[in-house]
Chains A and B, each alone.
Chain A
Amino acid sequence: MAAAQRKNPLRDERDKRLPRIAGPCSVVIFGVTGDLSRKKLMPAIYDLANRGLLPPGFALVGFARRDWEDEDFGQVVYEAVKEHARTPFRQEVWDRLAEGCRFVQGSFDDPEAFHTLARTVKELDEERGTGGNHAFYLSIPPGAFPTVLQGLQTSGLTDQDSGGWRRVVIEKPFGHDLRSAKELNRIVNEVFPEESVFRIDHYLGKETVQNILAARFANQFFEPIWNANYVDHVQITMAEDIGLGGRAGYYDGIGAARDVIQNHLLQLMALTAMEEPLSFSPRALRAEKAKVLNAAHAVTPFGETTARGQYLGGWQGGTKVPGLLQEGGFAKDSVTETYAAITVAVDNRRWAGVPFYLRTGKRLGRRVTEIAVVFKRAPHLPFDDTSTEELGQNALVFRVQPDEGVTMRFGSKVPGNAMEVRDVTMDFSYGHAFTESSPEAYERLILDVLLGEPSLFPINEEVELSWEILDPVLANWAANGKPEGYRAGSWGPESANEMLARNGHEWRRP
C-alpha cells in the first residue's frame, strides 16, 4: 500500500483534479443474490466504474448457491445496474465491467467451492491483472461468518503474503451484545488482521455526515458554542416510515436498539460530540471517537430515561398497514421493539449535564435522519412576556437524509407594528439530493475499501465501546415489561414523550 505511493512523478499534491483510482483488484461478494447486493453494492460498483474510479481490469466475483454461469450472473448484475444505478447507463462502461464478472457456485460449507473460488481469483490475476488484490464482501448473516472465513482461510485466499492485499468487508449487526461482538471480532481477526477488516456503517459514507466534521472544524462560529455552556440538549433521530414485513428472520429478537442505536446513532453521536482530532488521519479520527464513546454512558434509571415501543396496525398515510404482531414471521407475543429511545450522558468537561437523546423507529411519521443540537434560551429577554411567547430554543440541525443539508432555527420579528418574536428557519441544502454526480454512501465506502483508506470504518474498539453503552439498557429491558404500542405513522409511544418531558424537553418533529 505504502510502496504504491512512492514518488510518482505524475502525482503532485497541488493537483486536486486527479481522482483516486483504485489499483488493480477484484471484489468477491458473498450473498450476491441478496437485496443489499442487488440494490446497493452492484449498482455502486457500476457507478464507480462510470465515474472512472475503478481500475482497468477490475473484476467482480459472485459467490452463491444458485446454479449460474458467468453470463447468468452478468445478467443479474446488468439488471441490478439498470434498475438501481444512479449514473446514466453507458454501454461501453458496462461492457468493460461485464468482461470482469465471474460466478462461483457453491454453499458456504463446501470446501470444493472455495477451491474453485481460489482458482477463479488466480485466473483473474492472470487474465485481468488483478495483481492478487482482493476484497471479500460478506453480505451474509453473521451466523455464516465462521464457515465462510474458515473456507477462505483453508483455500489460502486470506494469505496476506501473496504479494497483494486481502481485505474483508462486513456489514452490521456486529454482534448482539458486548460478548457476542467480542466473539465475532475474535473470529474475524483470527483470519484477517484488524487493518484488513472494513466494517460498513453506511451512514459514515454519507456526505452530510462528513459535513458534520467540516462544519464543526472548518468554521469559527460553531465551535465556541459547541459545549454545555450553550447547548441544552442534542436529539439524534433515525426514523423510517416502512414496517418490517418480510424481515422477521433478521429482526425478531434483535430490535431497534441493536439494529440502529448501537451502530448508526452512536457513531453520529461520536462525530457530534468528539473533540477536534489532531488531523484527519484515520488514527487521529478513531482516537477521538473512541475517547468520546469511552466517556459516554446511558443515563439511569432506565425506567425513566429510555422508551421502547412496537407499532400497531392502522392507517398510515392513506394505506392500511398491519401491526408488528400481525406481520408474517413474528411471534404473536413478540417483545421485539420497533421503537427505541435512550438518553446518553457524555462525562467530560465539554458535555457534562447535556443529555443526548437517541431515538429510532419503524413506521414513524416519515423517513428522516437528523442531528439536532438544541441551544439554551437567552439568559435575559428584554421584551414583554407576550412578545416572546412563541419563541422556542435556537437549534442547529444536520439533515442526514433525505433532503441533505443544514437548518438553523432562530427567533425573528414577525412583520407588523408590534414587537413579536417567532421561530424561523434558515436552510442550507447543497442540492445534493438530486444531483447525479454526488456519490452514494456505498460508492464512497467501497472505493475506500479498495484504496485501503480506513477513516470511515469503525474499528473493533468502537464497536465494543458502543455495546458497553447499550448493554445495560438491553439487560434492563429484557428483565422488565414489554414495549408499549404506538400508532403506525405517529412519532412513537407516549413513554418517549414523557421521557423528555421529565427534563423539560420535547422531541422535535423532524
Chain B
Amino acid sequence: MIIDMPSTNTSQVNAKLVELREAGGMTTLGRVLTLVIATEDGQQTEEAIDAANDASREHPCRVLVVARGAKRAAARFDAQVRIGGDAGASEVVVLRLYGPLADEGASCVEPLLLPDAPIVAWWPFDAPAVPATDPIGRLADRRITDSANTKRPIKALEQRAASYTDGDTDLAWTRLTSWRAMLASALDLPPHEKVTEATVTGAADSPSTDLLAAWLAESLRVPVRRVKADKGGGIGSVSLQRRSGPVELVRPDGKTGTLTQPGQPERKVALQRRKVNECLAEELRRLDADEIYADALRRWRKLNTAKSGTKTARKPKAGAS
C-alpha cells in the first residue's frame, strides 16, 4: 500500500503510521533498526529503496528516505508512506524536501525515528565530505557510504580516509568480503609459508581494489603492488607470492574466479560481483565499529599519500582515525 501525503509535516506522518498500525495491524513485526537513506530526489532513489526493502527481509526496519529536491523552490515537505507488499518487511517513509527544507533532512527525520533502536544512515550515491559530522550522520550509530557509486570514486575514498570515525563503513569494502574470505581460506591450508609480496590488479577507479591492496599490506606486512588494469571493472586479480610459488585468484569476467596454488589443481569459484542489497544486508548485520576496515583505510591513505607525493596529498587532518 502506498499513501501519498503532499505538503505535510512529520506530526501528520507519525499520526498516519500509528493510524495504519491500528487500522490494519499491518506493522506488527518487531523492527530492529531505523535506516535513513539520504539521497538527491530522482530516478535513483527507487533503486536505493528496492535494495533497502530486500535487506529488510533479513533486518526488519523502518526505512526513512530523505530525498532532497530543488533548493531554489518554495519550502515544501511531501511524504509518501509505503507498507505491506510495497515495502518488503519494512515500512518506508519517503520524505521529499524542497527549498530551504532541503537541508533540513535531519530535523525532519528525527521525529520519525524508532524509539531506542539503532539508526543507520546510508548515502547510496554522493556522501557528505565528513559523514560523521553531517546532521544526518550525527544521528546515526552507523554510517554507510558507497564511494564506488560516486562520480569520482578514488576522490570519495580519500574523503572517507581523511574523515574516518568509528561507525563509518563503505560498500566498496563490503564488496570485498568474498575476495577476502577466499584468500583467507586459501592461506588456511598448508603449506603455511610466509607471503613475501603481493600484487593486486583492478580498474584504476576501483576503490575496492585499492582497499583490498591496503588490507593485504596491513595484515601481511609486505609490499603490495597495485596494478591498474585498463579493461574490465572492479577487481581483476590477486597474487600472493610464497616460497613454493604464488597463490593466485583471478577473475577476468566479473563472475567466475580461478584459484591456483602450487601443487594443486586449478579451482574455479563463483565470485560474482555482489549486488547492493546483499552488501546492505551484510552491513546491517553488524553495528559496531569495523576496526579492520579502519586499519585498511588508514594503510591505504598512508600508501596513497606516499606514492602520489604532493600531487594529491591532502593536509593531514586531526582526529582522522
Contact = CB atoms under 8 A, between A and B. Distances in A.
B57 interface: yes
A21 B182 contact: yes
A96 B180 contact: no
A217 interface: no
A6 B30 CA distance: 41
A294 B12 CA distance: 60
Interface stretch (B65-73, B159-167, B183-191): B183-191
Contact of B177 (A18, A96, A131, A432): A18
Contacts of A4: 188-190
A57 B270 CA distance: 10
Interface in B268-320: 268-272, 278, 281-282, 286, 290-292
Contact of A92 (B174, B255, B267): B255
Interface string A7-50: 11111101111110101100000000000000000000000011
A23 B190 CA distance: 11
A56 B189 contact: no
A175 interface: no
A57 B57 contact: no
A56 B220 contact: no
A99 B268 contact: yes
Contacts of A24: 189, 267
B46 interface: no
A437 B58 contact: yes
Contacts of B271: 52
Interface residues of A, number: 48
Contacts of A55: 185, 267
Nearest to A163: B190
A23 B185 contact: yes
Contacts of B216: 10
A56 B286 contact: no
A375 B281 CA distance: 37
Contact of B184 (A3, A16, A18, A432): A18
Query: Binding site of A, secondary structure by majority: helix, strand, loop or mixed?
Result: loop
A427 B58 contact: no
B187 to A, nearest CB: 5
Interface size class of B (residues with CB under 8 A): 35 or more
Given A10-B220, A17-B286, A23 B56 contact: no
Interface in A431-483: 431-432, 434-438
B115 interface: no
Contact of A10 (B28, B29, B180, B268): B180
Contacts of B32: 430
Interface in A138-168: none
A23 B188 contact: yes
Interface string B211-232: 0000010011100000000000
B43 interface: no
B89 A8 contact: no
B107 interface: no
Contacts of A3: 190
A52 B270 contact: yes
| Most B Cβ at <10 Å: residue of A8, A17, A127, A427 | A17
A431 B60 contact: yes
B286 A19 contact: no
A128 B265 contact: yes
B21 to A, nearest CB: 13
B23 interface: no
B184 A10 contact: yes
Given A434-B89, A436-B57, A437-B281, A96 B184 contact: no
B267 A56 contact: yes
A7 B28 CA distance: 47
Contacts of B235: none
Given A6-B192, A52-B178, A431 B265 contact: no
Contacts of A16: 286
Contacts of B192: 6-8
Interface string B9-47: 000000000000000000011101000000000000000
Given A57-B267, A92-B255, A431 B189 contact: no
A131 B291 CA distance: 34
B272 A56 contact: no
Contact of B56 (A5, A49, A431): A431
A431 B267 contact: no
Interface of B: 28-30, 32, 56-60, 89, 174, 177-178, 180-185, 187-190, 192, 195, 216, 219-221, 255-257, 259, 264-265, 267-272, 278, 281-282, 286, 290-292
Q: Lowest 3 A-B CB distances belong to which pairs?
A: A56-B267, A56-B269, A57-B267
7 contacts: A9-B219, A9-B221, A11-B184, A57-B269, A430-B60, A431-B56, A435-B58
Interface of A: 3-12, 14-19, 21, 23-24, 49-50, 52, 55-57, 90, 92-93, 95-96, 99, 126-129, 131, 405, 427-432, 434-438
Given A9-B219, A431-B58, 13 more contacts: A5-B188, A6-B192, A10-B184, A12-B219, A23-B189, A24-B189, A57-B259, A95-B270, A126-B265, A405-B30, A427-B28, A428-B30, A432-B58
